[in-house]
Structure 1
Amino acid sequence: MGDLGADGVARDAALNWLYGRDGEHDRRDVRPGAAGKEGGDGPSVVTTVDWLDDINRLFPKETIERLQRDAVELYQINDIVTDPAVLETIEPNPSLLRAVLQTKHLMNPEVLRLARRIVEAVVRDLLAKMAVEVRAAFSGTRARRPSRWKQARDFDMRRTLRANLGHFRPEEKRLYIETPHFFSRTRRHVEQWQVILLVDQSGSMVDSVIHSAVTAACLWGLPGVRTHLIAFDTDVVDLTSDVDDPVELLMKVQLGGGTDIARAVRYGAGLIEQPRRAIVAVISDFYEGGSQSVLIRAVRELVDQGTKVLGLAALDEQASPAFDRDMAQSLANVGASMGAMTPGELAAFVAEQVTR
Structure 2
Amino acid sequence: MTADKERMRRWRLAIGGEEAEAALDDEDQRLSRALGALYESAGNGKRRGGLGASAPRVARWIGDIREFFPASVVEVIQKDAFERLNLKALLMDPEFIATLEPDVHLVADLMSLRSAMPEKAKDSARLVVQHVVDELMRRLAHKTLETLRGALDRQRRTRRPRAADIDWPRTIGANLRHYQPEHRAIVPETLIGFARRSKQRADIDHVILCVDQSGSMAPSVIYASIFAAVMASLPAVRTSLVCFDTAIVDLTEQLADPVDVLFGVQLGGGTDINKALAYCESLVEQPAKTHLVLISDLFEGGNAKDMIARVAELKQSGVNVIVLLALSDLGRPGYDANHAGLIAALDCPVFACTPDQFPDLMATALTGQDIGAWAAAHDIATVRASPS
Task: Tell me which interval the TM-score lies in, with the shorter structure as reference length.
Answer: 0.5 to 0.7
- Aligned with residue 114 of structure 2, among 98, 104, 107: 104
- SS of 1:226's equivalent? strand
Q: Does the aligned pair in 2 maintain the 1:140–1:187 contact within 8 Å?
A: no
- Cα distance in 2 for partners of 1:75, 1:266 equals 29
Q: Deviations over 1:139-198 (max 9, x none)?
A: 427998449xxxxxxxx9xx9xxxxxxxxxxxxxxxxxxxxxxxxx97666641100011
Measured after TM superposition, the shift of residue 229 of structure 1 is: 0.3
Measured after TM superposition, the shift of residue 27 of structure 1 is: 4.9
Q: Deviations over 1:298-318 (max 9, x none)?
A: 100111011100111101234
The aligned residue for residue 273 of structure 2 is 261
- Cα distance in 2 for partners of 1:110, 1:233 equals 28
Q: Deviations over 1:30-71 (max 9, x none)?
A: 4327xxxxxxxxxxxxxxxxxxxxxxxxxxxxxxxx969989
- Cα distance in 1 for partners of 2:325, 2:127 equals 29
1:115 is the counterpart of 2:110: no
Cα distance, 1:248–1:319 mapped onto 2, change above 3 Å: farther
* One-letter amino acid of the counterpart of residue 246, structure 2: T
Q: Does the aligned pair in 1 maintain the 2:322–2:349 contact within 8 Å?
A: yes
The aligned residue for residue 31 of structure 1 is 49
Q: Deviations over 1:117-155 (max 9, x none)?
A: 1110001100111102202312427998449xxxxxxxx
The aligned residue for residue 7 of structure 2 is none
- SS of 1:234's equivalent? coil
- Cα distance in 2 for partners of 1:332, 1:30 equals 47
- Cα distance in 1 for partners of 2:195, 2:219 equals 34
Measured after TM superposition, the shift of residue 244 of structure 1 is: 1.8
The aligned residue for residue 221 of structure 1 is 233
TM-score scaled to structure 1, two decimals?
Answer: 0.67
Residues 20-59 of structure 1 aligned to structure 2 (within 5 Å):
23-24=41-42, 27=45, 30-32=48-50
Aligned residues: 270
1:82 is the counterpart of 2:94: no
* One-letter amino acid of the counterpart of residue 119, structure 2: P
Cα distance, 1:189–1:285 mapped onto 2, change above 3 Å: farther
Q: What is the alpha-carbon root mean square deviation over aligned residues? A: 3.4
Residues 107-186 of structure 1 aligned to structure 2 (within 5 Å):
107-140=117-150, 145-146=168-169
TM-score scaled to structure 2, two decimals?
Answer: 0.62
- Cα distance in 1 for partners of 2:284, 2:60 equals 42
- SS of 1:267's equivalent? helix
Cα distance, 1:205–1:70 mapped onto 2, change above 3 Å: closer
- SS of 1:140's equivalent? helix
Segments of 5+ residues of structure 2 without an aligned counterpart are 1-38, 63-80, 155-165, 177-191, 198-202, 369-388
Q: Which moved more, 1:265-274 or 1:78-87?
A: 78-87
Segments of 5+ residues of structure 1 without an aligned counterpart are 1-20, 34-65, 148-155, 160-184
Indicate the percent of aligned positions where both proteins have the same amino acid.
31
The aligned residue for residue 314 of structure 1 is 326
- Aligned with residue 302 of structure 1, among 314, 334, 337: 314
Q: Does the aligned pair in 1 maintain the 2:167–2:194 contact within 8 Å?
A: no
Residues 319-330 of structure 1 aligned to structure 2 (within 5 Å):
320-330=332-342
